[in-house]
Amino acid sequence: MKRLTTAALAVAALAAAIGVQGAATPASDAPPPQAAAAKRPNILYIMADDLGYSDIGAFGGEIETPNLDALARAGRLLTNHHTGTVCAITRAMLISGTDHHLVGEGTMGEPRDERRGLPGYEGYLNDSALSVAQLLRDGGYHTYMAGKWHLGAGEPGKGKTPDQWGFERSYALLPGAARNHFGHEPDGARNYSEDGRFVQPGQGFYSTDFYTRKLIDYIDSKRADGKPFFAYAAYTSPHWPLQVPEPYLSKYKGRYDAGYDVIRLARIERMKKLGIIPADFKPWAGLPETPTRSPATANSGTPQARYVNAVNGAAQGHADYGPGRVVKTWASLTPLEKKAQARYMEIYAGMVDNLDHNIGLLIQHLKDTGEYENTFIMFQSDNGAEGWPIDGGADPKATDEANAAPEVYAKLGTDQVKRLQYGLRWAEVSAAPFRNVKGASHEGSVSTPLIVKLPGQHARQAILRDYTYVTDNTATFLALAGIEAPRRPAAPDPDPATGRDRNQGKVVYGTRNVYPVSGSSLLPLLQGAPIAQRGLPAADESYGRGYVFSTDGRWKAVWTEPPQGPVDGHWQLYDLRTDRGENHDVASSHPDIVAQLVQRWNGYMTQVGGVEPLRPAGFY
C-alpha cells in the first residue's frame, strides 16, 4: 500500500472542478508532510440498516427526512446502486472491497448446510480480506466507527472486532441485530464492544442517538492534530425490533390507516415527479394474495428429496421444495389486523425520522467545526427492506390481533424487549417500485438509495443512473485519500492435496496474502467519465439464490427457489431497459441470452469460490 501521485492528482482535478480549496497533490510516493495530509478530504460514510429504496423523501417517501433531503439537494442521487442481499454480506464487501464469498461471508453467518467449514464460509471476515479502515489508517487517516459490525464477535473462532481491522476507535454492536434498541442486555452478554473490550450500554441509551454522540466524540478527540478522518456511522435503524422514543413514537399516528397500496402508489407517483424513475415506469405490484400456505413436495425433508437449485431443475430430475407462505392484501385483513399493521408502519416511520434527525446532527457538527467543506459524505442502506414474515410464513392474524388489544397496543414501539417487525407487505411498500425485499435476488433486495456529496459541493447535480456496486464505495474512499490498494501478486502456494494455488488472485499486504479491491472508484463517474472496469462480474449468490447482469446492464437473469420462484427451477430473465420492475419473465423468448448469462454466473461462482447448496433455503 502506498500513496499514489496519480490518485491524488485525480482528487485534485475533481476538487478543482467543484471548487474545493486546498486539495493535496503530493509530488512523490513518499509520505507528505502532516500539513499536506490534513488537506485531504474527510470521509463520512452513513449506512442505514434495512431501509427501503423509497423510504426517504429524496427518493419519494412520505416519511419526513429533511436532513437527507437537504444532503440530496447539495449533492447527487445515484439511483442504480446495488448491495448484497443481506446485512453481513454487504458489510463484508464494503470493508474488504471485494466479493463476500472470498472473505468469509459466503452466506450471512456460518452456513447450516454442507458448505459449513468450506473456505469463504467462515461466517466472519477472514484473513484473506483487506480492510479499507486499515488502508486509510496506514495512509494517515483517523478511522472511527459506531454502530453495527456483524463481521466477527471477538471471541475465539468467531472473528475479529473492528479495532483489529483498522478502526482507531469503535463502539460496535457485534451481532446482526440488537435485542432492544434501548440497550437492555442480560448480565454477561457480549454483544457490544468498545475498542475491542466487551461493554454494556448504560442508562439513556437509544441506539441511533447513542451512535451519533459516540461518533462525534471520536471525531472531536483528535481534531486538533489536523489529520483527516474516516467516520463510519453504521446505524442499526430501522432494523427490527421496531422501537423509537417520543416524539417520534407518536408522530405518525393515523398516517398509514389507508393501507399498503395507497401508500405505495403515492410513493411511486412522487418518484416519477422527482425523476427517480421514468414517467412510464411499470412498478411491481407486489406478491399475489395467497390466503393459505402451499404445501411442500412429498419428499421435502426426507433423505429421498432431490431439491431444485440454481444448477439442477426439473430437466435434471429435481422437483422438491419447501412450503409457501401466507400473503394477504389490505382488503383481506380484519379491522384489528389493520390496526396493528398500521401501527407497525407508524413506528417504522418514526425510526426513519429519528435516523434523519441524527444524520442532521452529524452534518451540523461538521459545519460547526469547519470540517463540512472538506468532507465527502455518502449515505445508503445496507440492503433492501426487511420483509421477514411475522409468523414465519403462517397466517399472522393471531399475532396481529393480539398486538391490537389495548393493553398491548399501547406499548408497541416502546422500551420493551420484543421482536416487533412490520412484515412483508410494508417491506414491499418500502421497496417500491421494485420487486421483492431483503434476501432476494430481485431489485427490491439489492437496489438501495445512494446520496453522495463531494467536498465543497453545494448545488445538486443531475441524477446518475449508471450501475454502481457497494465495492465501488471502498475504491472511492481510497481514491479520495490518494491511497493505492495493494496489487503486488502473492507468490504461488500449491495445496499439497489438490495442487490448487491457494494464493491465486491474491495480492500481498504486509505479512498477509489477501484478495484485492475489485470495485472501481466512483470519482470518474461523478466527473462525467466512464467508470473503470471492475475486477468481478456483476453477479451474486446467497442462500442458493442468484443473479447476474449482462455486461451492458440491459439483461438480468435471476434464480429463486420454488415456490417463490418457478417450480421447474428455470432461470428468469428480465429486460431492465424496459422492465426494471422485473414484472415480465422473458426467458422463454431469449433462451440464448439466458444460456450466456448462466454461463457468466457459473464463471463468477468459480472465480469467487461460491458453492450452490443442495437445498436452497432463502434468508427467511
Digit-coded pLDDT (tens) for 515-562:
999 999 999 999 999 999 999 999 999 999 999 999 999 999 999 999
Query: pLDDT tens, 56-65?
Result: 999 999 999 9
For the chain, what percent of residues have pLDDT higher than 90?
Answer: 89
Neighbours of 416 (CB within 10 A): 13
- Mind listing the pLDDT tens digit for each residue in 1-31? 555 443 444 444 454 444 333 333 232 233 3
List strand residue ranges (DSSP E) for 138-228, in order.
142-148, 169-173, 192-194, 197-199
* Of 530, 529, 502, 528, residue with least CA distance to 515: 502
274-287 mean pLDDT: 97
**Sheet containing 572-575: which strands, arranged edge to edge?**
539-542, 545-549, 555-559, 572-575
Q: Catalytic pick from 81, 82, 142, 150? A: 150
* pLDDT over threshold 50, residue 265: yes
Predicted pLDDT of residue 498: 87
3-class state of residue 482 by DSSP: coil
Minimal CA–CA distance to 369: which of 23, 44, 16?
A: 44
- What are residue 326's phi and psi, to 5 degrees? -80, 130
Provide the 10 A C-beta neighbour count for residue 234: 26
Is 584 a known active-site residue? Answer: no
Residue 259, Cβ neighbours under 10 Å: how many? 19
Cross-strand pairs, 573: 557
- Please give the pLDDT value at position 27: 28
Cα 189 to Cα 29: distance, rounded to the nearest angstrom: 46
Q: Are 340 and 401 in contact (CB under 8 A)?
A: yes
Q: Please identify which of the residues 81, 87, 239, 442 carries the catalytic annotation.
A: 87
Across residues 117-141, what is the average pLDDT? 97
pLDDT at 3: 53
H or E, element range at 539? strand 539-542
Active site residue 82: no
Phi/psi at 465 (5° precision): -115, 5
